[in-house]
Amino acid sequence: MAPAAPGARDVAIVAFGQSDHRRSTDELSEVEMLMPVLHDVLAATGLKTGDIGFTCSGSSDYLAGRAFSFTMALDGVGAWPPISESHVEMDGAWALYEAWVKLQTGDCDTALVYSYGKSSPGSVRDVLTRQLDPYYVAPLWPDAVALAALQARALIDAGDTDEPALAGVATRSRTAARANPHAQLRGSVPHGDYVVRPLRTGDCPPVGDGAAAVVLAAGERARRLCERPAWIRGIDHRIEAHGLGVRDLTDSPSTRLAAERAGVFERPVDTAELHAPFTSQEVVLRKALRLGEQVTVNPSGGALAANPVMAAGLIRLGEAAARIHSGASERALAHATSGPCLQQNLVAVLEGDPR
């Protein structure tokens, strides 16, 4: 899995698309929300659904409130006649990882990865409690904001941040999101009242619906599909112990290890797209990834500007790739997370060809 593994294939993100993220899209079914995004990435590469070697998606039945909800979305990719397809009940970043592995096997040269989440039908704070340890934690119904707030307090106690600094993270993110036409929250947003102290509304991500898709391609195929492919130089994901009280919440060793294995620390990156739905989590990630002030963090606005659950991590990979595609970045880091308090973390390094 190391970036220079012998025989590893060069694989790149060659196209990225996302929906406009909105508080509610109840006029659209999942497939209706997803389809324009799929068409965007196919149009960008000139590929048709029948040309794609492997399709992988990420979504959650708990968000939809229905079993096997992903099968309905498959209508949007033209799944008949039968295609080579897989699904992860996780953020689409992990679907991208699976597709990357598939491309490494040499089975195919192209892959379509998509993910989507509609938080609007339910209450996402309550829905996310169902992913917690069912014996000791889930019966207490601690919501996602409460768990993030415990982490924020631990950081403040450790002297790693304070409430004004957290407000600064929120302001910087949403100011950056002014340039992102897809973002849900942009520009000046009040720091607001405490939701679960010490986190205020401004420290929390917007709740919304959205979808994202990328196309991956290997070797020469990538060069033919994209002027400046975003080569995945390394990608890795790691997990923490599930017991929150076992972990040091002020640190993210799993992120650091994934970054090490992905080759992040071999050379500086110029951009980092971090999946930090709460302001306090950016503090943890910057420390774990040793990001200095010279690195542009979340030029898209990050998850504080738009957090479609199950797609927000894939969007970080897509946004980082888009910066490579446009020439705004030479070497970018993309991070995705899943679970409470940064429990699972995926890190990738993307590079453009030298110019």
Partner 1 sequence: MTEVLKAPLVVEFPFTRSLGPVQSAFLTGLRERTVLGVRTADGKVLVPPVEYDPVTAAELRDLVEVAPTGTVTTWAWNPEPRRGQPLAAPFAWVLVRLDGADTALLHALDAPGPDAVRTGMRVRVRWSAQRTGAITDIACFEPYDQVTAHQAAAHTGEFAGEAVTGIVAHARLDYTYSPGRAQSQYIHALSGHKVVGERCPSCRKVYVPPRGACPTCGVATTEQVEVGPRGTVTTFCIVNIKARNLDIEVPYVYAHIALDGADLALHARIAGIPYDQVRMGLRVEPVWDDSDKDSRYPDHYRPTGEPDADYDTYKELV
Query: What is the binding site for partner 1 (CB under 8 A)?
Result: 26-32, 35, 38-39, 49, 62, 65, 72, 74-81, 120-123, 125-127, 129-130, 134-143, 146-147, 149-154, 157, 194, 196-199, 241-246, 249
Measure the CA angle with vertex 318, ends 316 and 321; round to 5°. Answer: 110
Closest to partner 1 by CB, 130 vs 290, is: 130
Smallest distance from the beta carbon of 318 to partner 1, in angstroms?
A: 20
Closest to partner 1 by CB, 62 vs 97, is: 62
Smallest distance from the beta carbon of 82 to partner 1, in angstroms?
A: 11
CB 97 within 8 A of CB 91: no
Smallest distance from the beta carbon of 249 to partner 1, in angstroms?
A: 7
| Amino acid symbol at 20 | D
Smallest distance from the beta carbon of 142 to partner 1, in angstroms?
A: 6
Closest to partner 1 by CB, 76 vs 206, is: 76
Report d(CA 329, CA 351) in Å as an integer: 8
Smallest distance from the beta carbon of 36 to partner 1, in angstroms?
A: 8
Show Cβ contacts of residue 82 under 8 Å, excluding neighbours closer than 6 positions.
none
Closest CA to 115 of 50, 47, 41, 205: 41
Compute the residue count for the chain.
Answer: 355
Closest to partner 1 by CB, 82 vs 292, is: 82
Closest to partner 1 by CB, 139 vs 187, is: 139
Show Cβ contacts of residue 177 under 8 Å, excluding neighbours closer than 6 positions.
183, 185, 186, 187, 300, 301, 302, 304, 305, 306
